[in-house]
Chain A
């Protein structure tokens, strides 16, 4: 059972375009929603994260949009660059029952072509 559903599994975007990755969750106990970026042969690294008390968080070219009522959140990469080519994972963790239990989406492989 996939508690965090991520789409698409792969994405090709032209340089300068906007990359959008979507995630949906079911567990209303989730209260922390990070996005991790993983380059080939490396471990994931935290990119940006949001809590449900805000609807949007922006860090440079990366923005998380959060819709609590729809239980959906998305990552937008503005002005996508070839260096952004990586696999992106959305994730969620609860505020009770062990916040250490992070649930990850299946990942989106992003390719930004020149």
Chain B
């Protein structure tokens, strides 16, 4: 099992450029999440999905879009990158049933370090 994988690992963009971050999981998890991590801010939820074809806004959704066309994949898009989006982005996944033992455990990918100039 590869767990949660993220592509790419590093990326540098110029202001106004667009890009898509890909997250894939092989654990058959229903729920998937995108977070950003900034110094002194912890992890903040951008968007999440509770199943294929569904998405929902998290704490800091502005400037980002997401899609979940396949259960195993969750894409994060930046249509017009801004320097404020310089961050480390983490994808995570979890089971759908919170009552199961470990049902709320989130499995994180290794992260994507994005720099917007």
Binding site for B on A (CB under 8 A): 6, 9, 32, 34, 36, 41-46, 49, 89, 93, 95, 98-107
Min C-beta distance of B16 to chain A, whole Å = 29
The stretch among B63-71, B72-80, B108-116 that forms the contact with chain A is B108-116
Of all chain A residues, the one with the shortest Cβ separation from B40 is A106
Contact of A102 among B40, B45, B50 (CB under 8 A): B45
Across the interface, do A100 and B105 meet the contact criterion of CB distance under 8 Å? no
Can you report 30 residue pairs joining A to B where beta carbons are below 8 Å apart? A6-B42, A34-B104, A36-B108, A41-B111, A42-B110, A43-B90, A43-B92, A43-B109, A44-B43, A44-B90, A45-B108, A49-B105, A89-B42, A89-B43, A93-B104, A95-B98, A98-B56, A100-B48, A100-B50, A101-B45, A101-B48, A101-B58, A102-B45, A102-B106, A104-B42, A104-B43, A104-B44, A105-B42, A106-B41, A107-B42
A101 to B47, CA, bound (A): 10
B4 at the interface (CB under 8 A from A): yes
What is the number of residues of chain B that contact chain A, defined by CB distance less than 8 Å? Answer: 25
Closest to A51 in B: B104
Q: A49 CA to B106 CA in the complex, in Å?
A: 11
- Contact residues of B with A, CB < 8 Å? 4, 31, 33, 40-45, 48, 50, 56, 58-59, 90, 92, 94, 98, 104-106, 108-111
State the 10 A-B residue pairs at the shortest beta-carbon distance, nearest first. A43-B108, A104-B43, A106-B42, A104-B42, A46-B105, A99-B98, A44-B108, A43-B110, A32-B104, A107-B42
- The CA of A105 and the CA of B43, in the complex, are separated in Å by 8
Contact in complex: B43, A100 (CB < 8 Å): no
Point out the residues of chain A lying under 8 angstroms from B45, CB to CB.
101-102
Complex Cα distance, B46 from A106, in Å, reads 16
